[in-house]
Structure 1
Amino acid sequence: MDFKPLSQFIDRITSWRIPWAEVLVLYRNEEVFRYRSGYANLEESISIDDRRIIQLYSLTKILTCTAALQLVEKGAMLLNDPLSDYLPEYAEMTVKMTLPHGEVAFERAKRPIKVRDLFTMTAGFSYDIKAPSIQEVVRHTNGRAPTREIAAAFAKEPLLFEPGTRWNYSLCHDVLAALVEVVDGRRFSAYVQDEITGPLGMRDTGFDLSDEERSRMAPQYEYSDSLGKPIRKDGNDYRIGTEYESGGAGLLSTVSDYAMFLNALTNQGTSPDGVRLLAPESVELMRTDHLTEETRCHFSWAQLAGYGYGLGVRTHISRESSGSLSPLGEFGWSGAAGSLAIMDPSSQLTVMYAQHMLNNQEPYVHPRLRNIVYACL
């Protein structure tokens, strides 16, 4: 293995426009490469170090879907159950329709939202965190916005399409976190701590920070084209309340911590230390392509050509279309500040890549990074 091309790539992108980047490669449960470059704090020229805590954003989705699949394994719910069996406010949904001449009409949904629609982004939801129903909850709870109350409020918003008929990136996994709360009975963060992060020893992963952890939080940046440099932009816009635990974008973690979780999924659900999160069959179900002929055309992000969509993850289905050097079945997801998860059971490979910059250059960075990793092996 020669990872020099990977370190050269990290150096190249951090000398370009990304303040810092780090990559951790695990092969057969062993750390075979780790490299970081750049400044965690540009203003004070503080180099990145291995204990920095970052916003995971949508990498949270993998863990949320894992939590929900644990409840499926226990028989607490089924993928084909109507969501309204557990969240009754979703029993009678309205669909917003655009008529041939541009008029907008609202009709009663013909299909029920199923639990699987939350996993597969096919429920008909938007990603509008400023929707009137959500903002009303923020107001009447004085900024607390508990997860369950936000999910209940979101049911008041019209669907964008009939459930199951389209793929649309949305608040599906935020509602899935609320579903975990209702089915299990614990607050989502407590469930995650008790069933996933605690058993794995992920001490730096959660929805809230202690004072000590806050001191290790990496500054966040956004690249300004007009100024030609990254500018500071801290915070998480998806944290809409002090008690809101976003299953879609709320977790904070470190590279080392989240790699432990990802590697357990690479190992088909069980960590090298024997902590079992999921059965191998559940991991296979997660990384199976769940797109249908009806929904596939809407999963069209350029950097995900050749990939299908499973239960909260991209999954590699066509090398011809992707141009990727990874084998079929490689799976994972990414986050708004540029982090990337790669899990590959057949190669026994786990990659956790991190950066902390919005407008993250994902279409450029991620496909190249993935190819370089596999070429280095």
Structure 2
Amino acid sequence: MLNAEIDPAEAGFDPQRLARIDTHFARYVDEGKLPGYLAVIARDGKVVHVAKAGQADIEAGRAVADDTLWRIYSMTKPITSVALMLLWEAGAFELKDPIETYLPAFKDARVWAGGNQNKPITRPAVEPIRIWHLLTHTAGLTYGFHYAHPLDGVYRDHGYEFGSRASLADTVDAFGQLPLLFEPGTEFNYSVATDVLGRLIEVLSGQSLDVFLQERIFAPLGMTDTAFSAVDPDRMAALYQPGLKRDDRMGQVALHTPAMLSGGGGLVGTAADYHRFTSMLVAGGAPLLAPRTLRLMARNHLPGGAELKDIARPTISETQNDGMGFGLGFSVVLDPAATKLASPAGELAWGGLASTAFFVSPQDRLSVQFFTQMIPSSAYPLRSQLRQLVYQAMTD
């Protein structure tokens, strides 16, 4: 159960200010903007405050509960990135390694040079995709659902708008035959890169991605409810679009084991499980990663130390661009003033398609998660408002 484990005042929070979180997001539910929500605020890994309201499944009349299962979509990405770095710590690869060493389908990659969706013009890539490019979305890959460039349409033409009906191995091999959007390591474009990382984990470890995650992350952290499909369908939240329009077309996917294990967006889990993952980040990586490894991941790895606003393609992402950099698997605050939020430098964060989100402030020993099931994640400014309300409640 997700009960407060420490007195808010003792943890550096004003209880009355924390109550503003409940009031604010309950209004979203009362106004019919969200079906329901669950927020968890913790310090030093101890839960300080839990706020929840509304329904996990409106039609079934099932309220949001501590053990509700949520599609975390792209909040899968930091988990996959941590999994890969466990192999890095064991010396399985170097971050500068070309991925074609392990994934031959990416050899002789070609870069978009013009043309259209039906007849792309390409040229040979000068730089190979390296593993750190995948971790930072600077590999030149894309998503079919962006609708921002003809190459996105090429992905859709091959059946890659949301996920794939083929295995992870076959899907990643197919990605390797598609053009790159730009020269690797030169720009940021939110993409299937983390799905490719998932396949890389399989090749390096000799295990399927689900088994590797279970043995190396979920079991050690006690994440008993996290998997690539709902461990208990009766606890699964329903998926909605604005106007509380139920989306069973996408929603039902989480009830069945997928053909492709998506390291970029396939996991389902509970708030308690993700709290265990973010608590690991607050603890400097323990018990999974060495402190220096996590500090490396938490640095800005964008080319030339750039901010996202300078090199990111104008596509859907799970963070704002102003004042933000990107580490090995999550966004990193570089310039707090530019964010126009109270986030400190070094804050790590990411979110998911259904408006879920987390952020961690190592400086403040703070972790925050927010769960709901509203697509797209850009429907409402939930993430910026969550930060505003959490940081104003802190007294130190």
Query: Normalized against structure 1, the TM-score is what?
Result: 0.89
Partner of 1:324: 341
Q: Is the 8 A contact 2:110 2:123 kept in 1?
A: yes
Partner of 2:150: none
Q: Is the 8 A contact 1:131 1:157 kept in 2?
A: no
Aligned partners of 1:159 and 1:27: how far apart in 2?
A: 42
Q: CA deviation at 1:295?
A: 7.5
1:279 lines up with 2:290 in the alignment: yes
Q: CA deviation at 1:39?
A: 1.3
Aligned partners of 2:375 and 2:337: how far apart in 1?
A: 30
Identical counterparts, % of pairs? 31
The amino acid that maps onto 1:370 is R
Instruction: Map Cα deviations across residues 109-156 of structure 1 (whole Å, 9 max, x no partner).
Output: 111110111101011111127545557xx99xxx4x221111111111
Partner of 1:8: 23
Q: Is the 8 A contact 2:109 2:179 kept in 1?
A: yes
SS at match of 1:66: helix
Aligned partners of 2:354 and 2:230: how far apart in 1?
A: 18
Aligned partners of 1:237 and 1:291: how far apart in 2?
A: 36
The number of equivalent residue pairs is 356
Aligned partners of 1:9 and 1:333: how far apart in 2?
A: 21
1:336 lines up with 2:350 in the alignment: no
Partner of 1:298: 311
Q: Is the 8 A contact 1:133 1:157 kept in 2?
A: no
Partner of 1:233: 247
Q: 1:70 to 1:367 in 2, by over 3 A?
A: same
Aligned partners of 2:380 and 2:86: how far apart in 1?
A: 32
The amino acid that maps onto 1:164 is G
The amino acid that maps onto 1:232 is R
Aligned partners of 1:48 and 1:37: how far apart in 2?
A: 6
Partner of 1:20: 36
Moved more, 345-354 or 240-249: 240-249
Partner of 1:218: 237
Aligned partners of 1:324 and 1:222: how far apart in 2?
A: 27
SS at match of 1:358: coil
Partner of 1:308: 325
1:254 lines up with 2:270 in the alignment: yes
Q: Is the 8 A contact 1:167 1:295 kept in 2?
A: no
Aligned partners of 2:40 and 2:109: how far apart in 1?
A: 44
Aligned partners of 2:311 and 2:377: how far apart in 1?
A: 22
Q: Is the 8 A contact 2:139 2:193 kept in 1?
A: yes
Superposed counterparts of 1:167-178, under 5 Å: 167-178=188-199
Structure 1: where are the runs of 5+ without partners? 224-228, 271-275
Q: CA deviation at 1:262?
A: 1.2
The amino acid that maps onto 1:333 is W
Q: Is the 8 A contact 1:303 1:363 kept in 2?
A: no
Aligned partners of 1:254 and 1:241: how far apart in 2?
A: 17
SS at match of 2:260: coil
The amino acid that maps onto 2:175 is F
Q: CA deviation at 1:13?
A: 1.9
Alignment root-mean-square deviation, CA: 2.3
